[in-house]
Amino acid sequence: MFVCFSGKNDLDEFDEEASIKCQEEGTREVIHLSSGEDTPKDNPSYSPNFLSDNLDYSPIPLSYDVYAPIAPPYSPIPHNFESHVSDASSSPDLPPVTFLNNSGRSKEKEEVTDLKSCIKQLQSINKTLTAPHLYLEFRRDFILTDALKHSTKPKFDPKNQLKVTFVGEAGEDIGGLRREFWRLFVSSAAQEYFIGEASCKTFQPNVQALQDEVYERLGEWIAMSVVQDGFGFPMLAPSIYEYMVTGTCTCTNIPVQDIPEPRVSSLVLMICSAETVEELKSIFDDDTYANALFETGYKKPISSLTLHNKEELTNVISTYHTLIKVKAQIDQFVKGLESLNIHSYMVKFPAIMKTLFVKENEKLTAEYVKGLIKVKFSDKESLLRQKEEATYMHFVDFLDECEEGSIDVTLDDVLIFLTGSDREPPLGFSRTPEVTFLHDASRTMALASTCTLELKLPTCHNEYSSFCSSMKWSFKGHGGFHVV
């Protein structure tokens, strides 16, 4: 979208009767905003109270360009995408983005250099932070069912700000409940409509869900999560993301780990390891493997195969079973993403947006968790300070054990208990998570508020073993918001 702000007078204050004209220019929508017909110099009766008498009222030529993406037709992109390429944000073909500051003057927005700046632009385009609230209720055990049902109702608009209530639980959503909803929703959707390993998912070939437009609605929810404190859907296989960006199924050398079906991945590995023609042909004596090949439409008789056909076979089999078989589902999901311009930004900034859909190999560490939180101790002169410091050291030891895997609590569990999410949102938390202390001897368990991002540790445990047992139950045995 190309928006041109033009006017003969100072744009510090727009006329309420500004005219807006929309035209179509190719694939760009053009909006002209005019702040008035006459300048103060041309029209002496025009004297806004913010102008002083000693100002120069000479006409000021102004022209500001504001670019925002319009959803392109979902078709192949005229460039080859590679997952390791540098981001497209540095391309000279990409236009600048300008906005108006509070005074009404043009202010050049920073170029998209990372995920934070990318999401902020998306929030601005979709007016996320000023959108009306959308209050919805969900059952924890039926998160996905309730979400898909809500998205079919007339009042549902993915541009609105989501406010979550869990049925049967007290609590006002000021961020924590929504973060917890995104985590539960993504986990449930991944189990129900996707197949493959946890960090290498592809779409389930569910024809009924396709006809019911379930994948489009999933895309809308994921788009909402990107601009509303969520983390997208970082579970997809890299080849799926590559197709979503390029729109082409002519991928080659799809990694075997991207292939969702065990029988197909086993077939590919067997073809790759075949050293003789006889060994290659014998693979297809098994009907399971022969059917996996025939499903692709491969026409060459097995009797005429040679070792030169190995690469051709693996490409055909992996491409069909990973991409082509579920192309309709992926395309429908992409349509849902574009409800908030997410796909347009994936095409423009593939490397940056990739972290929202493909899991990074970074592992949560105890040092990261400790660096994320702020500890509030009593004054040094206080009699409580020594007890608090001892309790905090117990907590540090507990985090180390979580990282080492020596106890059945993970650092993800700790972060979920404190924030409602198993990872930090791309824009960070609304405030710094805090650790405070409980000095009531009757309080033996940890307490947390995911909205205020506060973790309260009990100081009644003198021994680490007692503290550790208490934390295990707190982080794993809790039943939801404000429940321990």
Q: What is the DSSP string of 217-236?
A: HHHHHHHHHHHTT----TTB
Would you call 460 a catalytic residue per the annotation?
A: no
Helices (H), 373-479: 385-404, 411-419, 464-477
Cα(467)–Cα(449) distance, rounded to whole angstroms? 20
Q: Are 94 and 118 in contact (CB under 8 A)?
A: no
Instruction: For residue 79, give both structure tokens.
Output: 């460039």
Burial class (CB in 10 A: 0-12, 13-18, 19+), 160: middle
- Phi/psi for 480 (5° steps) reads 135, -160
Q: Are 417 and 373 in contact (CB under 8 A)?
A: no
Q: CA 151, 230, 228: angle at the middle one, nearest 5? A: 70
Beta bridge partners of 65: 4
Tell me which H or E stretch contains 200: strand 200-203
Q: Which of 118, 402, 451, 468 is catalytic?
A: 451
Burial class (CB in 10 A: 0-12, 13-18, 19+), 316: middle
Q: Are 181 and 164 in contact (CB under 8 A)?
A: yes
Residue with tokens 């859909």: 357
Instruction: For residue 10, give both structure tokens.
Output: 């100072």
* Radius of gyration (C-alpha) of the chain in whole angstroms: 28
Burial class (CB in 10 A: 0-12, 13-18, 19+), 189: buried
The CA distances from residue 416 to 165, 181, 184, 423, in Å, are 17, 11, 11, 8
Give the closest residue to 436 by CA, choosing from 360, 375, 371, 394.
375
- Phi/psi for 331 (5° steps) reads -60, -40
Would you please indicate which residues are annotated as catalytic (active-site) residues? 451
